[in-house]
Amino acid sequence: MGRLIWRVARVVEARDETPRARSILLSVPDWPGHLPGQRVDVRLTAEDGYQAQRSYSLASAPADPWLMLTVERVQGGEVSPYLTDELRAGDALELRGPIGGYFVWDTARGGPLLLLAGGSGMVPLMSMLRHRKRLRQAGGRVVPARLLYSCRTETDILYRRELDALAADPAVGVWYALTRAQPGDQADFRRRIDLAMLRSVAWGPEAEPAIFVCGGHGFVEAAASALLALGHAADRIRTERFGPSGGMA
């Protein structure tokens, strides 16, 4: 229960990831630690006492020096416009967590690691990839990983430079599926994720990958159904659904 208290977090840096999304690095001196895939509640309090609260996944690895949230701006939203447009280094906000124990990955779950992301559903999967990289840098075993990331256009891809750098590792595969691809976009696929796409990039069920699927409701349902059709066991597939802001639906 001690993990569920509200803590004061101080903004170290706020940087744009895409035209609609911003990553916020937070210092939390008494942070108890988290697992890749967990989330936090964020609470904002106005001068008149009005409070608004949203849940956001953590993008940072457990060993990173700061906590990272990545938030997409929702037009007319209560929380995301402040986090993406107003928040500055030195500002404070309240958070509570870490929360969640189902949609998490660590070495105990093994590998290989198969990640399917839709839009801002990339956020908790980025925590997993960063954790995997840190484990390897520390001399841990190599866990093969494959990521299939679906976005509307190339400008909507979160962490693009970092993902491309990770893909230089021969044990990591990264593919982009753009549903509204524009001329010049560097897309591996120009359509929504489907059975044929998964068959071409994913491991088969005989590899027994640890599978994580995160995105909007329609994306998660389509991806999970395709994985089952390919023969993957239901207990190997873990899913999480996101709302439009990058927070939990």
pLDDT score of 180: 92
246 token code pair: 């990058």
Q: Does 28 score more than 60 pLDDT?
A: yes
112 token code pair: 């290989």
pLDDT score of 62: 96
Q: Are 192 and 179 contacting, i.e. CB atoms less than 8 angstroms apart?
A: yes
Region 29-49: mean pLDDT is 92
Give the separation between CA 174 and CA 165, rounded to whole angstroms.
10
pLDDT score of 243: 66
Give the separation between CA 200 and CA 191, rounded to whole angstroms.
14
Q: Which domains, ranges and CATH numbers included, belong to the chain?
A: 2-99 (2.40.30.10), 107-241 (3.40.50.80)
Cα within 13 Å of Cα(143), Cβ side: 28
Give the separation between CA 25 and CA 12, rounded to whole angstroms.
5
pLDDT score of 210: 96
76 token code pair: 């007319």
Contacts of 97 (CB under 8 A, 6+ apart): 3, 4, 34, 38, 39, 40, 41, 58
pTM above 0.85?
A: yes
pLDDT per position as a tens digit, 130-187: 999 998 888 878 899 999 999 999 999 999 999 999 999 999 999 999 999 887 778 8
Q: Does 93 score more than 60 pLDDT?
A: yes
91 token code pair: 């500002």
Contacts of 18 (CB under 8 A, 6+ apart): 72, 155, 156, 157, 158
> Phi and psi dihedrals of 220, rounded to 5?
-65, -45
- The rounded percent of the chain whose pLDDT value lies above 70 is 96
pLDDT per position as a tens digit, 194-236: 999 999 999 999 999 999 999 999 999 999 999 999 999 999 9
Q: State whether the Cα torsion 123-124-125-130 is positive or negative.
A: positive
Listed residue (82, 68, 61) closest to 15, CA to CA: 68
Residue 45 pairs in a beta bridge with 51
pLDDT band at 1 (very low <50, low <70, confident <90, very high): very low
DSSP 125-162: HHHHHHHHHHHHHTT-----EEEEEEESSGGG-TTHHH
pLDDT band at 245 (very low <50, low <70, confident <90, very high): low
